A and B are shown apart, each in its own frame.
Chain A
């Protein structure tokens, strides 16, 4: 199914106001709210043939020009039969940034969602195993946030020193 058909099907189902589209270079994006993002992705997977989640990540738009929301989460979907791509974008905000997990649609989302949680603190509701993946478990900050300094806040120096026997 082409991008145009997918968009018209989504507009039919969710209403023209809920689905906003933008294009830049060859990227075609659909902007939806966090309340409808799961249903939109489910519709794109089940009805429109976008069967692979190629990429899922986020950015912190804290200091971005003219930004109104803080955490932007994007999903790049691919149709493995004709190679079509579509980007779905949604925003979450402080104090409790959360979006529904898409693990039940694609198991491949497992580690990608964990990485976003690890780096930005965005909670994926319904994820079966939302733990830190790259940073140590005892780390308390979210290092990719824009208000986190590049050189860290000295967390490393506060790590407890453990002996081999305790490890």
Chain B
């Protein structure tokens, strides 16, 4: 049924109910977490119609992408899904490197894989913790956030920034990791399953949590495909699709892990898929950190695409020349005059970038395929017939990040 904003105020067609009333949910409401607005038409407490109204956080990221070069834009994509920032950076540089035809080094692949999986845990912890928080379970949220702090520390150690690391570069990474970082990741791998089990013990058999999430917001497999859903939301509905397996990028084909799926398609299934994916991520991180290959993290300087390190800029003429060539605004990179779509499996689903190159160092078009935007579009379908209190349960299970939603 087509959704029209003006219609949300009028009673639905064919129903003679003048007692329906409209509720504005948001844009500033604690349970929306970020800035988004829902126009709900209610019959008592039953939702007759839900119309999302977005754009409150629109800040023109894609327009900025047409004015910042391939390395500068990484600071902007960081701020899209700020719950898992490095996952966005990896997606952006995955697409940009595909455009340039750069094959990154094995060590870089492994470090990026470890970061991608840490970010998956990062994102899922917030999503599951906040889902419980919205339904009244405060303790699980604190256990989840305690582990998120550890991942923030790991990000900080690698890049110097906790929230927005801007860690990847075209053809490599900002800098190599050290032994202390490896020790921190090892400690996290060792300790995380215990904290995970704490959250599971608090929620998985919690009668209140299960009754609030089971059979709520059911999405069938056919609907999930028709509505372009990806990631944990599609997998909870029985769509067996994971880009890590289907289109192996980075180093994923070296590792042994499973794709977590469910068939119920409700909020509980989405929660359970996310929880189990975290353990699979830990398995990947464990395999990657123990087999971290030696060697450089950035591609060879002769490729003319990667920024040289500080020492070779100061101490060699080749390094200085290349730094100059890439930094001066009238030189920079020469992207191929062509376009490419590259996607990775971000924690939220397929995060793709469609990058159009026009022979300069700035993308002609840097389109993001944001999973939050696609997933919020299914919200009206999920809500019809549910209670007002189920709004927060469904919103929490979809993991809508408004910064990515509006860009």
A residues sitting closer than 8 Å to B (CB atoms) are 24-27, 51-55, 57, 59-60, 63-66, 74, 76, 78, 80, 83, 85, 87, 106-112, 115, 119, 128-129, 131-136, 143-144, 150
Contact = CB atoms under 8 A, between A and B. Distances in A.
Contact of B227 (A26, A65, A108): A108
Contacts of A143: 60, 63
A53 B62 contact: no
A65 B364 CA distance: 11
Given A53-B228, A74-B354, 5 more contacts: A52-B228, A54-B352, A55-B367, A144-B63, A150-B67
Interface residues of B, number: 49
B338 A108 contact: no
Nearest to A53: B228
A15 B377 CA distance: 36
B340 A25 contact: yes
Given A129-B3, A129-B4, A150-B63, A136 B55 contact: yes
B150 interface: no
B341 A76 contact: yes
Contacts of B66: 150
A65 B339 CA distance: 13
Nearest to B405: A134
Contact of B55 (A80, A106, A133): A133
Nearest to B359: A65
A55 B226 contact: no
Contacts of B331: none
B2 interface: yes
A106 B226 CA distance: 5
Contact of A133 (B54, B99, B341): B54
B356 A59 contact: yes
Contact of A59 (B101, B227, B367): B367
Given A54-B369, A80-B239, A83-B241, A128 B2 contact: yes
B227 A54 contact: no
A107 B369 contact: no
5 contacts: A59-B354, A65-B337, A129-B2, A129-B4, A136-B55
A114 B176 CA distance: 43
Contacts of A150: 60, 63-64, 66-67
Nearest to A74: B354
B340 A111 contact: no
Nearest to B368: A57
A13 B66 CA distance: 38
B58 interface: yes
Contacts of A76: 341, 352, 354, 369
Given A80-B239, A108-B227, A131 B5 contact: yes
A107 B340 contact: no
A63 to B, nearest CB: 8
Contacts of B341: 27, 55, 74, 76, 85, 87
Contacts of A111: 373-374, 376-377
Residue of B239, B374, B406 ringed by the most chain A CB atoms within 10 A: B374
A54 B228 CA distance: 6
Contacts of A108: 226-229, 374, 377
Nearest to A29: B339
B382 to A, nearest CB: 13
B54 A64 contact: no
A82 to B, nearest CB: 8
Contacts of A53: 228
Given A54-B369, A74-B354, A134-B55, A144 B228 contact: no
Shortest 6 CB-CB contacts between residues of A and residues of B: A108-B228, A128-B2, A83-B246, A59-B365, A134-B55, A111-B377
A25 B5 CA distance: 42
A107 B227 contact: yes
Nearest to B230: A54
B225 interface: yes
A25 B101 contact: yes
Given A57-B354, A83-B247, A134 B58 contact: yes
Residue of B3, B55, B229 ringed by the most chain A CB atoms within 10 A: B55
A110 B381 CA distance: 13
B297 to A, nearest CB: 23
